Structure 1
Amino acid sequence: MNKLKSHGQCKAKTNFVRVDKICLRQESLKLTLHLAILVTVAIACSVFVALPTAEGWTVVQERDPNVRDYMSITFTSKNTGWVVGAASFEDFENPGFIGYTTDGGASWQKSEVQIPADLAEVYFLDDKHGWAVGANGTIVATDNGQDWELQTSKVGNGLKGIYFVNKDVGLAVGESDTILSTKNGGRSWKVLQGGQLGAVGDDDANMYNAVQFLDEETGWLAGVRVSPSTQGQSALIQKTTDGGQSWVTQETGKEDILEDLFFLNASMGWAVGENGVILHTNNGGESWTEQASGTQETLRSVGFADENNGWAIGGDFGVGAILHTTDGGTTWELEDSTEKLVKVFVLDGKNVWLASSTGAVMRAE
């Protein structure tokens, strides 16, 4: 592993907001700089405007222009958690961002490690052992919760999901059919399939957005299968019972891209994605049925505390959706949000957090 350069472990409390990427053109550099100044000033002013609170949720973190994007959030206790995403546009060479909280999200410290790519997902086993993945095959890891090291993935395409069964055994998945595995905590990664940057051909190709395992042998992937020959796509869920050496596709009957999945146990699972789709299985994925969400927004994350109580969240272009069920998804209660929500993390029925793409964090009351 390569030690990431750091100028101290943490920085002062920070919050986060997203702005659209500005394409710098040499012939109009002066105009672009003027526009950038105006945008920065406008955003800096907007940070002081309190976010509207969704019913049953407390905003524990407001927006801040210092960070461009939030992509994932996780907690190991009611106080200790992490967020990952993309830093401000000012740091083009090291855009990856990791934030750390010890007070349930009321304040966050920004890690000063230099990460050369945006981060998409973070996973922690406990307060010390965690991993994050992102663009350009980036994988970073920590064994104390604060200091991060770059791991060698052997791929250059984007990684979207990561999951560890224990501190040694884990999988990472992403674009271009990519599935990676490790047996030593990420000190070395093996490419199980895919991994060819920008691979395009006549054969069907998979993009994996999420991965979850119950033990070293049994796990699921969610994403989309694209068929260049027909210019079509289909929702994709695959299951392994041999630690990722082979995968069986589970039929969904849907065309929507799946963004996330969550299994409560070997039988009960949910998957969410485009057009408000929610799929449910009670037999380990042998069959999937659709649950009515009441929204057409893209659902980006799902989590359950038990077989009855669960949440699904998402949104597009500044409009968000929060869904809650108390009957396993037979019915979902929908609440609109002014934030595009990207991640829900359910620690238990009383400790649930939401993260928005603009860097806001909400906690269940």
Structure 2
Amino acid sequence: MRRSGSTRRTEPTGREGRRFRRVTAVAACAAALAALTAVPAQAHERPKDRAPRWEVKDTGTPDVRFRGLAAVSRDTAWVAGTRGTVLRTTDGGRAWRDVSPPGAGELQFRDIEAFDARRAVVLAVGEGEDSRVYRTDDGGATWTEAFRNPDARAFYDCLTFFDHRHGLAVSDPVDGRFRILSTRDGGRSWAVLPDTGMPPALEGEAGFAASGQCLVSSGPKDVWLATGGAARARVLHSADRGRTWTATDTPIPAGDPARGVFALAFRDRHHGLAVGGDFNPGLPSPDAAARTGDGGRTWRPAAGSPPAYRSGVAWLPHSRAAALAVGPTGTDLTTDGGRTWRTVDTGSYDTVDCTPDRSCWAAGEKGRVARLEQ
């Protein structure tokens, strides 16, 4: 979402007037990982003092806020944030390499998608030419600017990839409809899709560039878009890589520029989670989570939601029922597919991502990046 004035800030971007205002996972998280992954339970048995926990990794960047995170494996992860910063680790976070694109110091990176340790695509957000896409094929040693937004009315929030070639990025509405950008060559080139299949946006509706999770995909063609800022918080779904869309209301609070769905996660084309709420500091956010079992056609509120606004969410690896949600005031765990959540830590993170090799990473303010240690 766009803000008035400069977009080069550490808070999540939003339309005019919007503001944004270690971690140790408890033994319940260990039980969830052991019971709900595809590995025999005995493989996870360990002394109590070695229960899984977030282990903060020193990135050496205390003045950067990382809202973009691409977890590749237990060893490899990329983060992207303020001051045009992109970091990469290939040793589990023991060392981080600054691989920021040259000349990007004034940009706000809010999303990054990585295919492996060498190939990644990063999105800078902002009005007009501040919205840009860069791609690297050599671990960040060099970058190519693949897209620079020529339209002052557009403001790109998030991107996602279906596979190594096909991907989408989304802008806040232009001429009353969300604008979708598409690539078919892994992010090397981009083109705006026709908006004839996009339903009209609600007054004040936009996406939140808070965690890189307002646009997510599952499988070869399904993609979902989270919205807020309007009278109703909606999720839009496309089953044809962004050419046609349907919109569904969610029970997550709306009716204010600071409220809506901030992040989505789908473990397959049917089962998804939505989190969000009110990002104004100090305000309660009841009903800040919802779930779907039919691909987003209907959404049910969580019976026990996180106690405050959450900006990121991810399914635990190989789990059918366990997931983590993160935000500035804590981390929450569900072990029943999003029906109920309980807080397992009060540390601050903006985004979370998990990998097929049973690893989860989180990132946020003050250069903080952490990996879930098991």
Identify the TM-score tier after normalising by the shorter chain: 0.7 to 0.9
Partner of 2:3: none
In the superposition, the TM-score normalised over structure 2's length comes to 0.71
Question: Structure 1 133/205 Cα, relative in aligned 2: closer, same or farther at 3 Å?
Answer: same
Q: Displacement of 1:66 after TM fit?
A: 5.3
Distance 1:215 1:112 in 2: 30
Partner of 1:220: 224
What aligned pairs does 1:238-249 form with structure 2 within 5 A after superposition?
A: 238-249=236-247
Question: Structure 1 59/253 Cα, relative in aligned 2: closer, same or farther at 3 Å?
Answer: closer
Distance 1:362 1:112 in 2: 20
CA contact (8 A) 2:73 2:357 kept: no
Q: Which has the larger radius of gyration?
A: 1
Partner of 1:346: 354
1:266 matched to 2:269? The reply is yes
Distance 1:203 1:328 in 2: 30
Which residue of 128, 135, 149 corresponds with 1:141? 135
Distance 1:170 1:106 in 2: 31
Which residue of 320, 323, 348 corresponds with 1:307? 320
1:280 matched to 2:291? The reply is yes
Question: Structure 1 338/285 Cα, relative in aligned 2: closer, same or farther at 3 Å?
Answer: closer
1:77 matched to 2:90? The reply is no
Distance 2:356 2:111 in 1: 20
What aligned pairs does 1:314-353 form with structure 2 within 5 A after superposition?
A: 314-315=327-328, 320-339=329-348, 341-348=349-356, 350-353=358-361
Distance 2:10 2:66 in 1: 12
Which residue of 159, 169, 174 corresponds with 1:172? 169
Question: Structure 1 81/338 Cα, relative in aligned 2: closer, same or farther at 3 Å?
Answer: closer
CA contact (8 A) 2:90 2:117 kept: no
* Higher alpha-carbon deviation: 163-172 or 285-294: 285-294
Question: Structure 1 350/170 Cα, relative in aligned 2: closer, same or farther at 3 Å?
Answer: closer
Partner of 2:31: none
Question: Structure 1 68/126 Cα, relative in aligned 2: closer, same or farther at 3 Å?
Answer: closer
Partner of 1:182: 183
Partner of 2:117: 127
**What one-letter code is carried by the residue in structure 2 that aligns with 1:104?**
G
What aligned pairs does 1:182-201 form with structure 2 within 5 A after superposition?
A: 182-192=183-193
**What one-letter code is carried by the residue in structure 1 that aligns with 2:164?**
K
CA contact (8 A) 1:57 1:362 kept: no
* Equivalent position SS for 2:193: strand
RMSD in angstroms over aligned alpha carbons? 2.7
Provide, for residues 316-357 of structure 1, a one-character-per-residue CA deviation record: whole Å limited to 9, x for no partner.
Answer: xxxx21111222223322134242x10111114841112122
Partner of 2:57: 61
Distance 2:158 2:111 in 1: 6
**What one-letter code is carried by the residue in structure 2 that aligns with 1:118?**
Q
* Equivalent position SS for 2:265: strand
Structure 2 segments unaligned to the other structure (5+ residues):
1-8, 12-21, 27-51, 196-200, 209-213, 278-284
Distance 2:116 2:23 in 1: 33
**What one-letter code is carried by the residue in structure 2 that aligns with 1:360?**
R
Partner of 2:35: none
Tell me which of the two structures has the higher relative contact order, counting C-alpha pairs closer than 8 angstroms and 6 or more residues apart.
Answer: 2
* Equivalent position SS for 1:178: strand
Question: Structure 1 292/299 Cα, relative in aligned 2: closer, same or farther at 3 Å?
Answer: farther
Structure 1 segments unaligned to the other structure (5+ residues):
1-17, 21-50, 87-94, 195-201, 227-232
Distance 2:332 2:23 in 1: 17
Provide, for residues 207-230 of structure 1, a one-character-per-residue CA deviation record: whole Å limited to 9, x for no partner.
Answer: 12411222443211112253xxxx
Partner of 2:363: 355
Taking only the aligned residue pairs, the percentage that are identical comes to: 25
Distance 1:81 1:360 in 2: 13
**What one-letter code is carried by the residue in structure 2 that aligns with 1:326?**
T
Q: Displacement of 1:107 after TM fit?
A: 2.0
Partner of 2:372: 364
Distance 1:206 1:191 in 2: 20
Distance 1:74 1:59 in 2: 17
Partner of 1:236: 234
Distance 1:245 1:342 in 2: 30
**What one-letter code is carried by the residue in structure 2 that aligns with 1:324?**
L
Partner of 1:25: none
1:290 matched to 2:301? The reply is yes
CA contact (8 A) 1:181 1:189 kept: yes
Q: Displacement of 1:122 after TM fit?
A: 0.7
Q: Displacement of 1:280 after TM fit?
A: 0.3
Question: Structure 1 182/280 Cα, relative in aligned 2: closer, same or farther at 3 Å?
Answer: same
**What one-letter code is carried by the residue in structure 1 that aligns with 2:271?**
M
